[in-house]
Amino acid sequence: MPEDAVTMDKIVALCKRRGFIFASSEIYGGIGSTYDYGHYGVLLKTNVKNEWWRSMLSERDDIVALDSAILQHPRVWEASGHLAGFTDPMVDCRTCKERFRADHLAERAPGLACPRKPSKPPGEGPDCDLTAARDFNLMFKTTVGPVEETGSVAYLRPETAQGIFINFKNVLQFSRKKPPFGIAQVGKSFRNEITPGNFVFRTREFEQMEMEFFVPPDEAPAWYETWKAERFDWYQRLGIRPEKLRLREHGAGELSHYSSATADVEYRFPIGWSELEGVANRGDFDLTQHALFSGEKLEYYDQPTGERYVPHVIEPAAGADRATLAFLADAYDEETVEGELRTVLKLHPRLAPVKVAVLPLVRKDGQPEMARELFAALRGTMQSELDEGGSIGKRYRRQDEIGTPYCVTVDHQSIEDRTVTVRERDSLTQERVAADALLGHLVARLSAPWRSPKLA
Ligand code: GAP
């Protein structure tokens, strides 16, 4: 397939058609750039998050987990700098009443178009009338307490990271870890983005997968390199093609207020190269700020050496929705098979929402009963589906479109000799397997090393 055959429109259409992700509040006309995840979307995004947890927790012994509250003390956002500095410069168009990010306009960000003349960027259409740029804070504000007027102001967290810093002391006490060690968290964050868009790439409510790695100050530069390499590699281990990924180091003018070095893992989305994840050297900024604002000592005391220091922090910060979109885009393929176009998601088996579908060839002669028996034997071990209705071709197409790596077909021969065919999604090869050995066969194939068939 030519590279540009994967378009955002095709991904959006597939996600809606197969119930992965769809516009939220549709029966009320929708609410801009807000999405709901359906069954397969939930399974896929959960697998993405589980793979992240696996790489952070199960495959290492220097990181612990945390799940902090979304609502935090408002002083947290003063200390972190978000109240004063988490702003984007915004520009309004007096003609079309749309709002744009001034930096996106300046860099001519992909996908930005004048709503009245989409062939032109905003500001360059014949009727465009842009205001000067003004700063706009991206935090969602709410009130805590029963009466809005007297309640206290609170903010929905714009990143999960601060929940980790404010718990540094707690975690240090119970985890029996010493630097270098990390605290990992997955959860919702909220930003009142001026220009959300490009499906789930940029939304106002999204999930982050963040890990703060606390290190002795002189080790920070080396750990920064380690985490850049590890995070770059993670996407490839899960099947993303290397030519679609790059690491881009930020220039000095681009760095966040807390960062001394940042690199983005970028993916070549259908909208162009865009950030997938950021890896930052945050230095001692956050712990120092929270110590100052809270009055608590946030440092590490090494008893054997008597050394006391504020650890520096290396932070890989990824987005679960954005990563899900990248995995979908990278897996999307169209092929002509026996004269028919098939759309297929060539997802890594560990990410695939459903691992196996059991399909009786016809709805008679004992085939549905045998299919149900096999389905019951498989579903406790792997996400499985039983699909009894419609032509076998249509059922295969459906499973291809949701990325199911294996389809097990029960046919006439199955009833005679208790064997079934196992069809592989990518190669379309079919193998006859004894029904009683099916579970072991599938477990072995699903856990075997996997390489994207889209790789040259
Ligand atoms: N704690 C650092 C931090 O939050 P960030 O680069 O602003 O850094 C990290 O966010 C990741 O979160 C991004 O690389 C992206 O994957 C995801 N993300 C950020 N804003 C998002 C949005 N509006 N919609 C979807 N994902 C977003």
Element (H, E) at 227: helix 220-237
**Binding site membership of 353 for ligand 1 (Cβ less than 6 Å):** no
Print pLDDT tens along the chain (456 aa): 445 579 999 999 999 999 999 999 999 999 988 999 999 999 999 999 999 999 999 999 999 999 999 999 999 999 999 999 898 899 999 999 888 889 888 888 877 889 899 889 999 988 999 999 999 899 999 999 877 776 789 999 999 999 999 999 999 999 989 999 999 999 999 999 988 989 999 999 999 999 999 999 999 999 999 999 999 999 999 999 999 999 999 998 888 878 889 999 999 999 999 999 999 999 999 999 999 999 999 999 998 899 999 999 999 999 999 999 999 999 999 999 989 999 999 999 999 999 999 999 999 999 999 999 999 999 999 999 999 989 999 999 999 999 999 999 999 999 999 999 999 999 999 999 999 999 999 999 999 999 999 887
Residues 6+ apart with CB under 8 A from 114: 96, 120, 121, 122, 123, 124, 125, 128
C-alpha of residue 210 to centroid of ligand 1, in Å: 9
Q: What is the pTM of this model?
A: 0.93
Listed in order, strand segments (DSSP E) in 221-260 are: 245-249
Whether residue 312 contacts residue 215, with contact meaning beta carbons closer than 8 Å, is answered with yes
Task: Give the closest residue (by CA) to ligand 1 atom 15.
Answer: 319
C-alpha of residue 319 to centroid of ligand 1, in Å: 6
The structure tokens listed for 247 are 């690491």
Report how far residue 363's alpha carbon sits from residue 350's, in angstroms, rounded to the nearest whole number.
31
The structure tokens listed for 72 are 């935090």
C-alpha of residue 296 to centroid of ligand 1, in Å: 29
Element (H, E) at 234: helix 220-237
CA distances from 28 to 23, 199, 203, 270, 448 (A): 11, 19, 19, 29, 46
**Binding site membership of 318 for ligand 1 (Cβ less than 6 Å):** yes
202 CA: nearest ligand 1 atom? 24
Residue of 37, 206, 211, 213 to mutate, ligand 1, most atoms within 8 A of C-beta: 206
